[in-house]
Chain A
Amino acid sequence: MTNAAVRVALRMAAFTACMCISGCVATGTFNPAPEGPGTARTPTGESPAPQAAMNKVVLGKSTKADVAAALGPAIVVSFDSGYEVWVYRWRGADTTTRAATEVVLLFDPSGRATKARLRPGYETPK
């Protein structure tokens, strides 16, 4: 493959990525796998209600390890700033993310939870 051809291939990859960022991701649905990250589980294997999961977190005190031990692995979004957002999700009336209930936690760069919110699911318009 010539350099030009390589360049074209890379550029096509870039194009595909751009298309995906603008048009493929965020389909608005998710796979609520019972054992996957983001499904809250207590150490005894129970599935806590969203508010009960929120109650496990003490702002300014709970660490990532504390929360992982209490609720299991979260969906983690890490930022270059050192902040992390952790998400636990409960399926709603359908598999859309709009219908899902979410507990969202913010960890500051020191690793302690500084914010938490419970987002209720919303009915998906017919």
Chain B
Amino acid sequence: MLSPSNCTAVAAQERPRQAPQQITVTGISRQDVEKPYRKMIQGIEYFEQARAALAPAASLRFKLLPRKPGTEMDHIVLEVIGSTFSCTVPVAPDHTFVLAQDVKAVEEDAVVSTNRKRLSMTWRADIRAPGLPAHIRRLGDLRLECEVGLAAGLVSNSSPVGKIFDLFTDSKGYCHRKDSLYLYFAERPIFSVTLVAGARREALPIDRLYASASDDPGLNRDLPFCDCEMLVDRTYFLPLGDRSWPDDTRVEFEFMDDGP
């Protein structure tokens, strides 16, 4: 349930009839960064179904990331807004949050909305097994991030023909393809990403880092339409569908600002 202490009924905000009318329109698309609540709940439900196979020890949070230059990432106000209520969702200092399941929000087809302009931020699932150091992720967790991300409709494209795009990406099967290009973002700018499974080690080639900037001369032109625009130096692709890499594979990062 969404916490009642964080919720406000829209009716309680109504002013007396004699006062100048101010109308708050909620429950429909605004020009803010927002996602459909129902869709995000689908992502949570998918996580609950799939976690045992891919990421049994992990927990799910969602994460907000900057998409446009100058986006202020502190003091984000995140709300679930229905037609008769709104609830504030706490955002952690690392810009992650947990979305609670709520029947009323589903019934009212609520939106999950921030106080930032549309396309200024993007969203990802953040699925982590406990106990790993900051420079190591687990491949199974990241595989599930892709599937949950697509189930929840988190990848933000500026294309208004996104419905068609969704047909392409809104299939968890995309995450099982060897050539899938789901955009992952590390915590800091990366210098290398290495897969480690037992004695097997393999560094990703350069075209799997930085949104393929090394091999895509048109990337600068395309960047404004990619939700990686502000995060190119943190971006990497993984061989998600290559099952020769087990889910327990460690994904090790060397960051640009690490010591030599």
Q: Is A71 an interface residue (CB 8 A)?
A: no
Across the interface, B189 reaches (CB within 8 A) one of A17, A18, A79, A114, namely A79
Chain A CB within 8 A of B24 CB: no
Q: By the criterion CB–CB under 8 Å, are A25 and B165 in contact?
A: no
Instruction: Provide the bound-state CA to CA distance between A27 and B237, in Å.
Output: 12
Distance between B197 CB and nearest chain A CB, rounded to angstroms:
13
**Distance in Å from the Cβ of A79 to the closest Cβ of chain B?**
5
Interface extent on B, as a size class? 35 or more
Q: Are A21 and B211 in contact (CB under 8 A)?
A: yes
Tell me, yes or no, whether B49 is within 8 Å of chain A by CB: no
Per-position binary interface string of chain A over residues 6-32, scored 1 when its CB falls under 8 Å from any chain B CB and 0 otherwise:
000001101101111111011110100
Stretch at the interface among A45-53, A62-70, A117-125: A117-125
- When the two chains form the complex, which single residue of A20, A23, A106 contacts B222, counting CB atoms closer than 8 Å? A20
Q: How many A-B residue pairs have C-beta atoms within 8 angstroms? Tell me.
A: 120
Contacts of B160 in A (CB 8 A): 11, 14-15
Nearest CB in chain A to that of B220: its residue: A78
**For the complex, is B80 an interface residue (Cβ under 8 Å from A)?**
no
> Do B181 and A106 touch across chains, with their CB atoms under 8 A apart?
no
Q: Which residues of B contact A12 (CB under 8 A)?
A: 161
Contact A104 B206 (CB under 8 A): yes
Q: Are A25 and B192 in contact (CB under 8 A)?
A: no
Q: Would you call A40 an interface residue if the criterion is a C-beta within 8 Å of the partner chain's C-beta atoms?
A: no
B244 within 8 A of A: yes
- The yes or no answer to B213 lying at the interface (CB within 8 A) is yes
Question: How distant is A16 from chain B, measured CB to nearest CB, in Å?
Answer: 9
Q: Is the interface of B mostly helix, strand, loop or mixed?
A: mixed
List, in ascending order, chain A residues with CB within 8 A of B206's CB.
Answer: 75, 77, 85, 87, 89, 97, 102, 104, 119
Task: Judge whether B67 is part of the interface by a CB distance below 8 angstroms.
Answer: no
* A21 to B232 CA separation, bound complex (whole angstroms): 12
A126 and B235 CA atoms in complex are apart in Å by 28
Q: Which of B219-260 contact A (CB under 8 A)?
A: 219, 221-222, 225-226, 228, 232-233, 237, 244, 254, 256, 260
Interface extent on A, as a size class? 35 or more
A91 to chain B: closest CB distance in Å?
Answer: 12
Contact A79 B202, CB 8 Å, known A18-B157, A22-B168: no
Task: With both chains docked as a complex, state the minimum distance between the C-beta of B77 and any C-beta of chain A, in angstroms.
Answer: 27
Contact with B along A100-124 (1 / 0, CB 8 A): 1010101000000011010100100
Given the interface pairs A25-B212, A75-B214, A97-B215, the reply to whether A14 lies near B260 with Cβ below 8 Å is: no
Chain A residues closer than 8 Å to B212, beta-carbon distance: 25-26
- Is A115 a contact partner of B260 (Cβ separation < 8 A)? yes
- Nearest residue in A to B169 (C-beta to C-beta)? A22
A121 and B99 alpha carbons, distance in the complex (Å): 43
Instruction: List B residues at the A interface (Cβ < 8 Å).
Output: 157-162, 164-165, 168-169, 179, 181-183, 189, 191-192, 202-203, 205-208, 210-216, 218-219, 221-222, 225-226, 228, 232-233, 237, 244, 254, 256, 260
17 A–B contacts from the bound complex (CB under 8 Å): A14-B160, A15-B164, A25-B181, A25-B215, A25-B216, A25-B219, A30-B207, A77-B210, A83-B256, A85-B210, A97-B205, A97-B208, A102-B206, A104-B191, A117-B192, A117-B203, A125-B244
Residues on A facing B (Cβ under 8 Å): 11-12, 14-15, 17-23, 25-28, 30, 59-60, 75, 77, 79, 81, 83, 85, 87, 89, 97-98, 100, 102, 104, 106, 114-115, 117, 119, 122, 125
Leading 5 A-B pairs by shortest Cβ distance: A97-B205, A26-B212, A15-B159, A17-B222, A17-B225
